[in-house]
Amino acid sequence: MDELGRIAMLARVLGTARAGLEVGIGDDAAVLSTASLAGQRLVWTIDEQVEGVHFRRDLVSWRDVGWRATMAAASDVAAMGAAPWCTLAALVLPLDVDDAALEGIARGQREAADALGAPVVGGNLARGPALSLATTLLGTCERAVERRGARSGDGVWLAGRVGLAAAGLRALERRRGDEPALAAAVAAWRTPHALVTEGLAMGAVASAAVDVSDGLARDAGHLAEASEVSLVLDEAALVDDAALRDSARALDESAIDLALHGGEDYALVVTSARPIEGFRRIGEVRAGAGLILRGPWGERPLEPRGFDHFGG
């Protein structure tokens, strides 16, 4: 198909109605009504997933490629306490991504967008040497929760899981993705879910929040730095996940290392003086700086080792 044919196919797969959507796929830009935005804030993010960096074609389906890219972007919106509204996607397609592959990617985007309630209302197609998906999402909320704002004495709370997706990636890389003991881990990596409901639940009460894309230690470290506090994380709470422990055992990996440094789970870490529906307590905020891991052996400083795109 030529460019127009591909855009028509994408409009067919992706096109759907959304409150406030006045012009969707096929014009120079999407047009959104602001009639329902009184008293709301807009929360706006962009994320990009690149073949060979964020996924390998032999480890995921085309549908997974579209799903994962959409959910990764939505996780940023969830981490601010906002509800996803609409999505745009810019795809760079090498010549060996054929029409069927593109349709598969779009179907994954559509399924994720349906799950999020944030349809893809426009985008861009370009040729290029490496497959990539840039996804931008608009969300809305009354109050946005930033990384700064954590206060000494707040609890540290986690929604979702940490470490399981990294276990799933290791299982796939070792060609052990079909083992029943690793099925939950593989699913966590292949089909992550942005925690929108949990994000909305914490929006009214959390003092600070971040999503875990590059590893808990790394992302919680960003929150600690922005808030100018120290976070104490409880080892026992972090590995209180049977699927994580089973996967770690099957892979001969350390469950706590996976939990602290594995990325791509898209969990939410928030600080709050009160418990929040859907979150479990994993530590507390202290005056100071940096992260501390607390175990039966006592406390030790925790250095981030999560994913850094530029090797830091």
- Among positions 170-229, residues that touch its own copies (CB under 8 A) are 209-211, 226
Task: Name the residue nearer to its own copies (CB basis): 90 or 183.
Answer: 90
Within 49-88, which residues bind its own copies (CB under 8 A)?
Answer: 49-50, 52-54, 76-77, 79-80, 82, 86, 88
Q: Is 138 in the site for its own copies (CB under 8 A)?
A: yes
Specify whether the CB–CB gap between 163 and 258 falls below 8 A.
yes
CA-based diameter of the chain, in Å?
Answer: 63
- Would you give the DSSP letter of residue 205? T
Among 29, 274, 296, 298, binds its own copies (CB under 8 A): 29
Question: At its nearest, how many Å lie between its own copies and the CB of residue 283?
Answer: 20
Quick one: which H or E segment has residue 68? helix 62-78
Task: Name the residue nearer to its own copies (CB basis): 186 or 212.
Answer: 212
CA dihedral 230, 143, 199, 13 (to 10 degrees): -130
Task: Name the residue nearer to its own copies (CB basis): 16 or 124.
Answer: 124
Q: Is 270 in the site for its own copies (CB under 8 A)?
A: no
Within 89-108, which residues bind its own copies (CB under 8 A)?
Answer: 89-90, 92-93
Question: At its nearest, how many Å lie between its own copies and the CB of residue 54?
Answer: 7
Contact window for its own copies (CB under 8 A) among 57-65, 136-144, 177-185, 290-298: 136-144
Task: Name the residue nearer to its own copies (CB basis): 36 or 254.
Answer: 36
Quick one: which H or E segment has residue 239? none
Specify whether the CB–CB gap between 42 and 105 falls below 8 A.
no
Token pair in block for residue 296: 């039966």
Token pair in block for residue 70: 């959409």
**Tally of CB atoms within 10 A around 289:** 13
- Cβ partners under 8 Å of residue 175, min gap 6: none
Among 37, 236, 273, 287, binds its own copies (CB under 8 A): 37
